[in-house]
Amino acid sequence: MSGGKNKRALKREGFLGNNGSFRFVIVSLLALGNITLGMAAVMLLARIAPYVSLVLLAAALFVICGKTVTMRTPDHTLAWSILLLAVPFAGLVLYLSWGRVNFTKLEKGFLERSFRRCRDFLQNEPDAGDALREERPEQARQAAVLRREDFPAYRADAGAAKYYPLGELLFEDLYRDLEAARDHIFMCFYIVADGEVWERLRGILRRKAAEGVLVRFMYDDMGCVMTLKRDFAGKLRADGIEVTAFNPIHRYVRQLYLNYRNHRKMCIIDGRVAYAGGINLADEYANISSRVGHWKDGGLRFTGGAVRSQTAIFLQIWDMENMMVTEDYNAFCPEPEEPGPGGMYIAPFADGPANNPRNPAHTLYQTMCAAARESVWYTTPYMMPDCALREALCCAAEGGVDVRIITPGIPDHVTVYAATRGHYRRLLDSGVRVFEYAPGFMHAKMALCDRSSAVVGSINMDSRSFYQHYENAVWIAGGQAVDDIARDFDALFARCREIDPAAWDARPMHKKLWQATLSLFSPLF
């Protein structure tokens, strides 16, 4: 990275940029102070002049009308409407801090430019849609959803993708691929934590940078604020690594906005090998240590033309955060070899708040429900579907499709777990089978349709993933990887406890009320 870019990155990170827990506390106190002052001000005004309450109520109604016109989902609008009408003072302040996506004019400019360059690049990529429609017409409907959003499907050899049912298996191959890098390494992760996994990875990245390999590393500031030591970014820069913290948490405190995050997990090596999935760079993902029992995750390694899409997705968000423009994506995207026979199709794709209300991940999950003829199975750590996805799941089950969802058996967040469980009743009533992973925490984010197509990525089944986070995943059809995912699901069900509808109805009333309340407001989580 040039000196100018270094200065710009340091300026964005600010004087608190390398202070971990202290920075989190300071930013939290500043945010709390903003919220408290805002609430105190409106409450004082209400006491001095009662008619101010009517003004605030009118403001709340104005926000509700705006949400209705531009709503992501009815669930999201309903949750905010109840909060704003019930407590307009607090609701308006919370909405300003949590309920909107707000970009400065400069950020909007770079955002639009980086998305346009990525879209233009992918529009020109060859799409295997015709061959897919001829060979796999049922799966072609799913690929068409992504093609409409400019994410093409690539034809690949039967072994071009490899599925990893556990993080520790993925890391061993990742280490080897990183050691073999000759031109560039691009990495983007939501969580990075000190430990065995990171120490080994950092040693490899340091060596490759010293050899002249271009290494770019992006992490989410909120995801890492409590896990990294002081001067993490500075030490990487000293190693010759270009590093960017996505959306530093102090950036929007004065604007009462802290919300959108980069939840993506990806790695690209020399434009020829790519990784995606739910696995972050921390020891629990390799089952070295975990406070929630066995950590079940999933990841994918793939080669061939599809790596070009994943590279473009990385460059787009790198450019957006660094306020720069990569002039030539092809410089990092070597032309792939022509694939041999095998009938596998791979389509990397991405999502984020910048493209709301359009949402390829959400639409793809609904399409898989509609396209399924025999079965559609999901794993997710947080299962809070909006009404559209919930009804798609229920309609598929009521139509005779074997719909199953696996959630954690041991939660990482008790409140979110209760909200997840609050959605069980409607699904169970329609014949959806719900399982909980008994040995520990289910962190894998996967979907499998008719044992013939699958999605592996970072996407949770909740509004935050669909509408507030930047996410990425890979859709695949045919080939060995899909067969391996199907076998992993078969093995998983044997290790899960299935939720019995009758037993579920017998749980205590206070749990029913608590879970139902949390599920109502889950779009705000």
Note whether 129 and 140 are within 8 A (CB). Answer: yes
Query: Quick one: tokens of 67?
Result: 């949400």
Task: Give the integer Cα–Cα distance in Å for 406 and 340.
Answer: 35
Contact between 122 and 152 under an 8 Å Cβ cutoff? The reply is yes
- How distant, in Å, are the alpha carbons of 237, 281, 283, 493 from that of 194? 17, 9, 8, 33
CA–CA separation, 40 and 34 (whole Å): 10
Cβ neighbour number for residue 313 with a 10 Å cutoff: 26
Long-range CB pairs of 508-517 (<8 Å, 24+ gap) are: 511/418, 514/418, 515/418, 515/419, 515/421, 515/422, 516/422, 517/422
Query: What are the pLDDT tens digits along the chain (525 aa)?
Result: 444 454 455 445 544 444 566 666 776 676 677 667 666 765 665 565 555 555 656 665 555 555 554 555 666 666 766 766 666 666 666 666 665 555 666 667 777 788 888 989 999 898 898 889 999 998 999 999 999 999 999 999 888 999 999 999 999 999 999 999 999 999 999 999 999 999 999 999 999 999 999 999 999 998 998 898 778 999 999 999 999 999 887 666 555 455 678 999 999 999 999 999 999 999 999 999 999 999 999 999 999 999 999 999 999 999 988 888 887 899 999 988 877 666 899 999 999 887 777 789 999 999 999 999 999 999 999 999 988 899 999 999 999 999 999 999 999 999 999 999 999 999 999 999 999 999 999 999 999 999 999 999 999 999 889 888 999 999 999 999 999 999 999 999 999 999 999 999 999 998 888 888 888 777 666
Two tokens at 235?
């030490």
Tell me whether strands 453-457 and 446-449 are parallel, antiparallel or unpaired.
antiparallel
Long-range contacts of residues 463-466, Cβ cutoff 8 Å, at least 24 apart: 463/72, 463/73, 463/75, 463/76, 463/384, 463/386, 463/522, 463/523, 463/525, 464/382, 464/525, 465/263, 465/361, 465/382, 466/72, 466/351, 466/359, 466/361, 466/362, 466/386
Beta carbons within 8 Å of 500's beta carbon, 6+ residues apart? none
Phi/psi at 229 (5° precision): -80, 170
Question: Is the separation of the CB atoms in 402 and 502 below 8 Å?
Answer: no
Write the single-letter amino acid at 94.
Answer: L
State residue 256's pLDDT score: 46
Residue 337 has what pLDDT? Answer: 80
Cβ density class 434-451: b for 16+ within 10 Å, e for less: bbbbeebbbbbbbbbbbb
Which residue type occupies 397?
A
Non-local CB neighbours of 213 within 8 Å, separated by 6+ positions: 181, 182, 183, 184, 185
- What's CA 23's distance to the chain center, in Å? 24
Q: What pLDDT, on the 0 to 100 scale, is given for residue 212?
A: 97
* Helices and strands (DSSP H and E) totals, the chain: 21, 21
Residue 180 DSSP code: T
The H or E element that residue 499 is part of is none
For residue 286, give the DSSP letter: G
What is the spatial distance between Cα 393 and Cα 345, in angstroms, rounded to a whole number?
A: 25
Residue of 413, 437, 427, 443 lying closest to 494 (CA atoms): 437
What count of other Cβ atoms lies within 10 Å of the Cβ of residue 240?
Answer: 17
pTM recorded for the entire structure:
0.86
Helices within 213-257 (DSSP H only) = 221-224, 232-238
Q: What does each C-alpha distance from 99 to 218, 228, 251, 263, 469 come to in angstroms?
A: 25, 28, 17, 18, 13
Dihedrals phi, psi of 96, to nearest 5 degrees: -65, -30
Cα–Cα distance, 316 to 335 (Å, whole number): 19
Longest dimension (CA), the chain: 77
Residue in 389, 305, 298 with CA at minimum distance from that of residue 348: 305
Is residue 207 within 8 Å of 237, Cβ to Cβ?
Answer: no
